[in-house]
Amino acid sequence: MALSCRRQAMMSERSDVVRRPAPRRVVAGSRDEAVLGLRGAHVRHATIGVSASLFFFSSSAVSSAAGSCYSAMQTQMDAEEASDATRAGSYAGPPPPPDSDSHRWQPQPAWIHKQDNATYPPRPPSTRTRSSETRRSRRSGRADHTDDRGGDLFSPDPRPWPERSLLYQYMPFRGMYHDVKRRLPLYASDWYLAFLPKNWERVVGATVRMYFLNLMPCLAYIIDMYVRTNGTYGVNEGVLSSAIAALTFSLFSVQPLTIVGVTGLINLFNYTTYDILSNYDVDYLQFQAWALIWAAIMHWIIAVFNICDYTRFVTDMTSESFGLYVGVIYVQKGIELLIYEFDTGDGQAGWLACLVAILFALSVYFVEGAGMQPFGPFWFRKVLIDYSFAAAIIFYTGFVHIPGWIASTQLEELPISPSFQPTLQRNWVVPFWDLPVKWVFVALPFGFLVTLLFYFDNNVSSVMAQSRGFPVKRPAGFHWDFFLLGCTTFVAGLIGLPAPNGLVPQAPVHTEALSVTDLVPEEAPLAEGGFFEGDVKKARTEAKERRRQRGDPRKPLRVVRTRVVEQRVSHFAMGLLILGTMSGPLLVVLGLMSRAMFAGIFLVVGWGSIEGNGIVHKTLYLFRDRRMTPTDHPLYRISKRSIAEFVAIQWIFFAAMIAVSETIAGISFPIFPLALIPVRHFIIPKLFSPEEIAALDAPTANSPAVLVSLGGPLQAEHGFTRRAARRPSFGSGLSTQRSMHDAEDGLRRRNGTGEATDDGGYYADETLTEEERQRRLHQYDVQGGVSGLQRVLSIKR
């Protein structure tokens, strides 16, 4: 059989027109007739797949239904491509043996399978081998092991981003099917990994930390919504919305690291809509229900047609601008809560509220900062970081009730309602069917704006939770998770809750809380994200032996992340705790919390997002004395003019979002962060050289585990070398061929005779071979920018 295959392969190389193996179940006739014959059955199978996926909500059911739709359309599309390739006479693989049955899978020579996506038909999956390998890996305890290329836990997308056609890109259910298929074998280990003794500390600490960090900002925004919507949304609505989101995403999402809850952005949307409708005779909750129903439908359309793939173009330029906006909004809301104290009470209550808010913010900030200092045992410093926020909430809840002058000040407290009951006198289910038809369609554009907001906010928060600074190994699932977000949005509209979505400031905190840190030698090599992936004990031993041989003094160790405990238990336990908060005893405790403390929560969470923002750091660098700047600083070789222009674009979009948010058109602010993505994609590469882009920007997440859900590995950005040549730049050390004399002369190149020529002559020299010309053309290309950007130089955030 092997000899026959080899003979057929040799014959195919000599022939002018190479036949391609026919697709499965082709019995007779030409290839065009075979394709036409397959279409009826495939359409029926696709219809069955789509219908079934709409009726089943669990992961396995939708995976099966979407799989039938995907496999049918994939086979049809491959058959059409096979027919086109045969008619064109292009090589696409060896023909089948003449004595083989055309309706069976044909064995291919081993050398063919070494080429990725180069043969047709694809190799049939070996279900038995794959399941046995999974069982063996589970028994050996290597369920969370992956290699450097992205891991053996998941296979890459069969068609990377550059090789996709429009038909494949927008194939219904393709992304959702692959998301569930990659993560489903790991679902059991997502649970039992949390119960391994080595992971207990991280899971418990993350659960407690995220419970308070998710619930408290939610309650703070509920205070604002309660005041601005005349009591429509209260504590029970906010708590129930956060609990539903946490339980749903911990059980059914592909990536349980992403935290979903009530944010300030949906708060802005809710009270702006309330202000607009206050001038009309329409029921607010019924209108809001239809707006969220429309939004849920659009969520499902986006997920089904794989539009979340475009999240791969989100870079630090966009996420930093949006993160700075969210941080400033948090601080602004904290100040507004303090103003409420002056409006509702006397001056004494207002000034005490300011004191409590500032003390709370400073306490959390400095106690967490103490955990990052090299004082005290390592385990004690980790405890400070994990529990300082919860301890501050408990302390300042009782602080305002100390007998005497403090208790007599009568600070405003959190308004509560009966346990598990809506704030208003209504049923949980909103009678949305009573809304007049014209208002149903008026709610459509409002639902579209909610979809824009959630598309950006949820995907960016998910990317930030899996950013390059965390050693995340398990595959992401943007399409399936966005479909799930549509389901929670639909439920929120039906029962009158504020719709939950991704929490941007809290997004990386859950992953950070689950990150295992350790002390490694200073000379130990780190990954691009700044974490260590090797054996810590071995690295220490080698460093100690190296110092002994060289006689070097001992260098201090540094704290780095070594792995992330990727599991679902912390997220699920957080959801149960939030749901239990609606019980009577805990609601009474919530009613004892002062508004002033929630103002302090706003201040400390918002300041954390501002302090670590890249826009702030690059802006401060512009005022830095160059003589006091180390030469290895990432921005040292970039001209300050370029830095100022890049940061100015970010400040402009940030200012536009802030300005629009303060008007009645505030619900339209998602347009600006979304518009920044095409600006970065099309305009920024024309204004800055590849070296400047590499130093100033980078993909927010570039892990193979994340990109596998967004079209595969990122491609290199082909820089505008001619544009860069006309603009003098100090470079970034990447193009060592350029001298300072060349830069001062406008980066003009020299040909083989030593005569100065412009860039066109440099790349168009007729004496050069084609390979040398292409090498010169792409020698300044940087892995970064338009198509997805691998960071070469970066600012540590």
Say if residue 473 is in the same domain as residue 531: no
* C-beta of residue 713 within 8 angstroms of C-beta of residue 750: no
Could you tell me if residue 301 is inside a domain?
yes
pLDDT over 80 at 308, yes or no: yes
Which of the listed residues 93, 110, 127 is the one where a domain comes to its end? 110
Report the pLDDT value the prediction gives residue 773, as an integer from 0 to 100: 53
C-alpha 139/C-alpha 189 separation (Å) is 11
Report the pLDDT value the prediction gives residue 596, as an integer from 0 to 100: 92
Could you tell me if residue 272 is inside a domain?
yes
CA of 253: how far to CAs of 171, 242, 362, 462, 571, in Å? 21, 15, 36, 12, 11
Q: CB atoms < 10 A from the CB of 402, how many?
A: 9
Say if residue 379 is in the same domain as residue 329: yes
- Minimum mean pLDDT range among 198-207, 441-450, 466-475: 466-475
Provide the whole-model pTM.
0.73
First to last CA, the chain: 59
Say if residue 554 is in the same domain as residue 594: no
Using DSSP, state whether 315 is helix, strand or coil. strand
Q: 450 versus 29: which is more confidently predicted?
A: 450
Could you tell me if residue 725 is inside a domain?
no
Looking at this protein, which amino acid is placed at residue 596?
A
pLDDT digits (tens, 9 = 90+) for 593-642: 999 999 999 999 899 889 889 999 999 999 998 888 888 888 888 999 99
Q: Count Cβ atoms within 10 A of the Cβ of residue 562 and give its class: 0-12 exposed, 13-18 middle, 19 or more buried.
A: middle
Q: 144 versus 552: which is more confidently predicted?
A: 552
Report the pLDDT value the prediction gives residue 437, as an integer from 0 to 100: 94
If you count them, how many residues does the chain have?
A: 797
Could you tell me if residue 548 is inside a domain?
yes
Say if residue 403 is in the same domain as residue 489: yes
Say if residue 391 is in the same domain as residue 507: yes
Q: CB atoms < 10 A from the CB of 525, how many?
A: 10
The tokens describing 116, both together, are 């990725």
* C-beta of residue 618 within 8 angstroms of C-beta of residue 651: no
Say if residue 454 is in the same domain as residue 581: yes
Helix axes 235-252, 478-495, angle to 10 degrees: 150
Q: What is the mean pLDDT of residues 243-254?
A: 95
Q: 383 versus 101: which is more confidently predicted?
A: 383
The tokens describing 391, both together, are 């301890």
Q: What is the mean pLDDT of residues 128-157?
A: 45
Say if residue 541 is in the same domain as residue 507: no
pLDDT digits (tens, 9 = 90+) for 418-458: 899 999 989 999 999 999 999 999 999 999 999 999 998 89
Q: CB atoms < 10 A from the CB of 101, how many?
A: 10
Say if residue 376 is in the same domain as residue 303: yes
* C-beta of residue 421 within 8 angstroms of C-beta of residue 236: yes
Say if residue 263 is in the same domain as residue 310: yes
Say if residue 539 is in the same domain as residue 571: no
Which of the listed residues 530, 563, 596 is the one where a domain comes to its end? 563
pLDDT digits (tens, 9 = 90+) for 746-765: 333 333 333 333 334 433 44
Using DSSP, state whether 413 is helix, strand or coil. strand
Q: CB atoms < 10 A from the CB of 383, how many?
A: 15
pLDDT over 90 at 105, yes or no: no
Which of the listed residues 110, 127, 157 is the one where a domain comes to its end? 110
CA-CA-CA-CA torsion sign (468, 470, 471, 474): negative
Write out the residue range of the structural domain in which residue 321 sits: 198-513+565-611
Report the pLDDT value the prediction gives residue 382, as an integer from 0 to 100: 87
Say if residue 355 is in the same domain as residue 469: yes
Percent of the chain scoring above 70 in pLDDT: 70
Q: What is the mean pLDDT of residues 271-289?
A: 93
Could you tell me if residue 755 is inside a domain?
no
CA 623 to chain centre: 32
Say if residue 224 is in the same domain as residue 96: no
Report the pLDDT value the prediction gives residue 19, as an integer from 0 to 100: 39
Give phi and psi for 281, each to the nearest 5: -90, 80
Q: CB atoms < 10 A from the CB of 204, how many?
A: 15
C-alpha 654/C-alpha 158 separation (Å) is 38
Could you tell me if residue 555 is inside a domain?
yes
C-alpha 731/C-alpha 416 separation (Å) is 59
C-alpha 127/C-alpha 676 separation (Å) is 44
Report the pLDDT value the prediction gives residue 717, as an integer from 0 to 100: 60
Q: What is the mean pLDDT of residues 665-687?
A: 88
CA of 723: how far to CAs of 297, 444, 486, 545, 639, in Å? 44, 44, 44, 51, 16
Looking at this protein, which amino acid is placed at residue 85?
A
Could you tell me if residue 148 is inside a domain?
no
Could you tell me if residue 226 is inside a domain?
yes
DSSP summary character for residue 307: G
Q: What is the mean pLDDT of residues 340-345?
A: 80
The tokens describing 506, both together, are 């809290």
C-alpha 211/C-alpha 575 separation (Å) is 8
**Beta partners for 394?**
none
C-alpha 739/C-alpha 513 separation (Å) is 46
**Beta partners for 594?**
413
Report the pLDDT value the prediction gives residue 257, as an integer from 0 to 100: 92
pLDDT over 90 at 670, yes or no: no
> What is the number of structural domains in the chain?
3
SS3 content of the chain, % helix, strand, coil (to 5): 60, 5, 35
> What mean pLDDT is reported for the chain?
75
CA of 490: how far to CAs of 263, 289, 447, 495, 670, in Å? 17, 8, 11, 9, 20
C-alpha 595/C-alpha 598 separation (Å) is 5
pLDDT over 80 at 256, yes or no: yes
Q: 103 versus 574: which is more confidently predicted?
A: 574
